[in-house]
A and B are shown apart, each in its own frame.
Chain A
Amino acid sequence: MIKVSDLVVGIGGKTLLHGVSIACASGTLTALVGPNGAGKSTLLSAIAGDVTPEAGTVLLDHQPVHRMRIRELAQLRSVFPQGSEIRFGYNVEDVVGMGRAFRDLPPDEDRAAIAAALADSEVDHLRDRNAQTLSGGEQARTTFARVLVQEAPVVLLDEPTAALDLRHQERLLERARGLAASGGTVLAVLHDLNLAAAYADQIVLMRNGGIVANGPPWDVLTEPLISDVYRQPVCVMAHPERDCPVVLTK
Chain B
Amino acid sequence: MSSVENVAPQQRRASRTPVLATLVGIAFCGVLVASVAMGPMMLSVSDVLGAIGARFTSSPVSDTQELNMAVVWDLRLARSVTAIIVGACLATCGAAMQGLFGNPLADPGIVGVSAGASLGAIAVVVLQISVFGIWTLPLGAFVAGVGTTFLIYVLARPGREGADSSRLLLVGIAINAIGGSIAGFLTYLATTEQLMTLTFWSMGSLSSARWLTVSITVVPALIGTAFLLMWARQLDLLALGERQARHLGVDVRALRRKLIVITALLVAAAVSFNGTIGFVGLVVPHLVRLIIGPGHRLLLPFAAAGGGLLLMLADLAARTLDPPNEIPIGVIMGSIGGPFFLWMIWRGGANGRAA
Q: Contact residues of A with B, CB < 8 Å?
A: 48, 50, 69-71, 73-75, 77-79, 81, 84-91, 93-95, 98-99, 101-103, 127-128, 130, 132, 150
Contacts and interface: CB of A to CB of B under 8 A. Distances in A.
B8 A98 contact: no
Contacts of B103: 87
> Which 4 residue pairs of A and B lie closest in terms of their CB atoms, listed nearest first?
A74-B249, A102-B249, A89-B355, A88-B294
B293 to A, nearest CB: 7
Contact of A85 (B8, B10, B233, B241): B241
| Number of chain B interface residues as a range | 20 to 34
A121 B98 CA distance: 31
A132 B353 contact: yes
Contacts of A70: 246, 249-252
Contact of A74 (B98, B247, B354): B247
Interface in B230-269: 233, 236-241, 243-244, 246-252
Nearest to B158: A87
Given A81-B243, A93-B8, A101-B233, A87 B102 contact: yes
Contacts of B9: 91, 93-94, 127-128
A79 B245 CA distance: 11
B76 interface: no
A234 B165 CA distance: 46
B289 interface: yes
B249 A127 contact: no
Contacts of A87: 102-104, 238-241, 352
Given A87-B103, A88-B104, A89-B355, A102 B248 contact: yes
Given A50-B246, A74-B249, A87-B238, 10 more contacts: A50-B243, A69-B251, A74-B248, A77-B247, A78-B247, A79-B244, A87-B102, A94-B294, A98-B240, A102-B233
Binding site secondary structure of chain A: mixed
Contacts of A98: 236-237, 240, 248
Nearest to A103: B249
Nearest to B12: A128
A79 B247 contact: yes
B289 A89 contact: yes
Nearest to B285: A88
B249 A73 contact: yes
30 contacts: A50-B246, A70-B251, A71-B251, A74-B248, A77-B247, A79-B244, A81-B247, A84-B241, A87-B102, A87-B104, A87-B240, A87-B241, A87-B352, A88-B98, A88-B239, A88-B289, A88-B352, A89-B289, A89-B354, A90-B295, A91-B293, A93-B9, A93-B10, A94-B10, A95-B240, A101-B233, A102-B233, A102-B248, A128-B8, A132-B353
Which of B98, B104, B240, B251: most chain A CB closer than 10 A? B240
Contacts of B295: 90, 94
Contacts of B98: 88
Nearest to A74: B249
Contacts of A86: 239-240
B15 to A, nearest CB: 14
Nearest to B102: A87
Contacts of B354: 89
A71 B8 contact: no
A229 B237 CA distance: 40
A130 B246 CA distance: 23
Contacts of B352: 87-88, 132
A127 B289 contact: no
Nearest to B98: A88
A80 B249 CA distance: 14
Which of B233, B240, B248, B293: most chain A CB closer than 10 A? B248
Nearest to A77: B247
Interface string B284-307: 000001000111000000000000
Contacts of B355: 88-89, 130
A93 B103 CA distance: 22
A89 B349 CA distance: 11
A162 to B, nearest CB: 17
Nearest to B159: A85
A180 B24 CA distance: 51
